[in-house]
Chain A
């Protein structure tokens, strides 16, 4: 455990472990059983065919989905964090994440910061938007943002509360070259603070990771 990670987790060691973790959506397999343990700062890529369960795994890790098999444990300072509490320690960005169209980008993040109980919600929102290069469009309504800008907003949302575990599902989708450069820089900064998991099939995004978990599911949610 590095000093940087210890600082990110409030001075406590942090570990993420999946044990025989799997998920089924009714008769269809969403995620074939897998196990892994991550307890050091760094970037891990999660790869696999379409339907192999990358997004399902990310949702489970974020505490949004209860697995039908196995378990996930996030341990901070030797204390297990429940799935309900995990959202405080985890930042999550995925294509399914949507914002309120009637609010501006900044208002969406200020709301999220207030709901999370962060101190200085406006400053936290402004800082997160600046980190993804969206500061100049902070006052624009979400409905007026391009798909690339919305993707930046998703990443800003994940970074908002400076979580020690960052879960990025297809983070480069819709981003232009400048956006991908910004993303690479952010991942580099966040790996010094804690864990970054990137679910992707983009080789450029693999390159940001030091290790890779390849999901070997048969893909497309096979019914077996």
Chain B
């Protein structure tokens, strides 16, 4: 009997769980991201020492490390399906929108896991001054959401193209620059004791805009 109630919610949840299980078993992105974050922070720490009074540099360094540690894995969420020839199976069991939302949720979880390890290490090794925790975590969450939305959208668009690597850089730079600029500016401001509302609003609005654009696009992405 066909499943007429093949609800998108069930599909999104199933895809999220499948992604987590696959990542846990293969460590495809997790090990690489953690290795990059730890070696970068250790290297910078050895070279520059503690940057307690350079909060502008701390803000930039935090987001650059997070961006480069996670970007390759985030964008590969769809590429893995294409290269493993499993996209046909996915398309048969879930709508493109459900697939993309499942991937987006996995990317958010992935970013959170990397941040749980990386951020305490960053604060310790760099000698960062105590952050205003509410502002710090709020910016971290909104910046991560925007980063995940942008990289998921780009990953979905480039997954079936040739020359994905070059295309990814070309498409993702204009989408990621506003995220990086707002996140760095907001983080610098929270360490300086200034307001962060403008940056937080920008990151939230940008995430909503990317998500809305994605929901409009996803259903048309994989039509041959």
Residues of A within 8 A of B (CB): 8-10, 59, 62, 64-66, 84, 87-89, 92, 94, 96-103, 107-108, 111-112, 114-118, 157, 161-164
Contacts and interface: CB of A to CB of B under 8 A. Distances in A.
Interface stretch (B65-73, B85-93, B137-145, B191-199): B85-93
Q: Which 6 A-B pairs have the closest CB atoms?
A: A114-B14, A98-B85, A117-B6, A115-B93, A115-B14, A117-B10
B7 A88 contact: no
A64 B84 CA distance: 17
A66 B223 contact: yes
Given A117-B6, A162-B2, 8 more contacts: A89-B2, A92-B92, A96-B88, A100-B18, A112-B92, A115-B10, A161-B1, A162-B1
Contact of A64 (B6, B14, B92): B92
Contacts, number: 97
A8 B1 contact: yes
Contact of B22 (A8, A62, A100): A100
A112 B89 contact: yes
Given A97-B88, A111-B18, A115-B14, A84 B3 contact: no
Interface of B: 1-7, 10-11, 13-15, 17-18, 21-22, 25-26, 84-86, 88-95, 98, 219, 223-224
**Interface centre among B6, B7, B11, B25, by most A CB within 10 Å?**
B6
6 contacts: A64-B88, A64-B92, A88-B3, A100-B18, A102-B22, A115-B18
Nearest to B26: A102
Contacts of B88: 64, 94, 96-98
Given A161-B2, A163-B2, A101 B84 contact: yes
Contact of A100 (B5, B14, B86, B95): B86
Nearest to A110: B14
Contacts of B22: 100, 102-103
Contacts of B94: 115-116
A189 B80 CA distance: 36
Contacts of A66: 223-224
B2 A10 contact: yes
Of B14, B17, B84, B94, the most chain A CB neighbours within 10 A belong to: B14
A117 B7 contact: yes
Contact of A62 (B5, B85, B92): B92
A164 B2 CA distance: 7
Nearest to B93: A115
Contacts of B14: 111, 114-115
A117 B6 CA distance: 4
Contact of A102 (B3, B25, B92): B25
Nearest to A23: B224
A10 B89 contact: no
Given A114-B14, A161-B3, A64 B85 contact: no
Given A8-B1, A116-B3, A116-B6, A64 B86 contact: no
